[in-house]
Amino acid sequence: MIQEAPPNRYIDSMPLLETGDFKALWKRVHEEGYLFFRQLLPKEPIFEVRQKILEVVDHYGWLKANDEGLDNLADVETVNQMNLEDMKYGVGVTDEAYETIQKIEAFHRLPHHPNILNLYRGLFDDEVLPHARHIARVVTPHQSIPPTPQHQDYPLIQGSKNFWTCWFPLGDCPREMGSLTVLRKSQHSGYIPVSRVQGAGEIAAQLCPGEDTWIEGDFEAGDVLTFPCFTVHKALKSQYPERIRLSLDLRYQPLSEEVERRSIEPHAYQIGWSDIYKDWSDDRYQYYWEKLPLKMGDWDDTLVQPSRRIC
């Protein structure tokens, strides 16, 4: 028997995945616009990445003294000294710090976890291409950083129209800490024209009257949220003025479909893979896409340009 979620809360699809019922999973995606899985991932690799990112945060003085990293407590005064001009990557910390985070081997290894790959193999009925442009969000309580605005991922990623986003926090993340929320059934609208706004991605999907059923939930370490590239989503505003929210944005698509070139480049675009791989102990996940029969697609700049939506 499938457990019902409270209204406007994520429905746990783990029981369907455990029975391999991908037909039912696709039905749920059609009805809801997302899939949410309790404890899809083991905690150990998540905490490994979390610890290594917090070590970088601590190195720059943004972690509160004597904090063991369990609560992600920030030194707010030091955080607010970060210059926005030094934060062009839009992840919550300076570009210099983020480039250090991008060099963490465990951070690039986690997206290849078999529990994730097996999920998408079943959904796509195809081999899976994990995009190499993994994004770590280190959302500090900087006074000038707004929550991620409502948007679709397709205009920002492009390539296949069948890629999915995989989002999960690196630790427990209640709604009050700024977890992700999705607009129910919004994937059925296809591409939605955008407006220019502040925040990560710098675009917002224009919503029409009645498009207001937002689904949200509390996350524990190991919980995973995933949705098609046209599902509208945003970050909730954090109610914790001293907490740092750590999370990963990953993308997956059917291998047989086209991929836009930037999806196999580092998210920290000013450094290359040779710099990222320099001190790795294992080459298993280095340049893995070069062994695959990729179909390269072109970037369409009009998708990120403001235009009017007719409701």
Domains for the chain: give ranges and CATH numbers: 20-304 (2.60.120.620)
Give the pLDDT band (50/70/90) at residue 70: low
Q: Residues 272-293: pLDDT tens digits?
A: 999 999 999 999 999 999 999 9
Q: State the pLDDT at residue 19.
A: 98
Task: Decide if pLDDT at 2 tops 60.
Answer: no
Q: State the pLDDT at residue 1.
A: 42
Q: Which two tokens stand for residue 58?
A: 């601590």
Q: Residues 218-277: pLDDT tens digits?
A: 999 999 999 999 999 999 999 988 899 999 999 999 999 999 999 999 999 999 999 999
Q: State the pLDDT at residue 5.
A: 56
Q: How far apart are CA 71 and CA 238, in angstroms?
A: 14
Task: Decide if pLDDT at 67 tops 90.
Answer: no
Q: How far apart are CA 292 and CA 126, in angstroms?
A: 13
% of the chain surpassing 70 pLDDT: 96
Q: State the pLDDT at residue 64.
A: 87
% of the chain surpassing 90 pLDDT: 88
Q: How far apart are CA 269 and CA 208, in angstroms?
A: 35
Task: Summarize the confidence of residues 165-173 as an average pLDDT.
Answer: 97
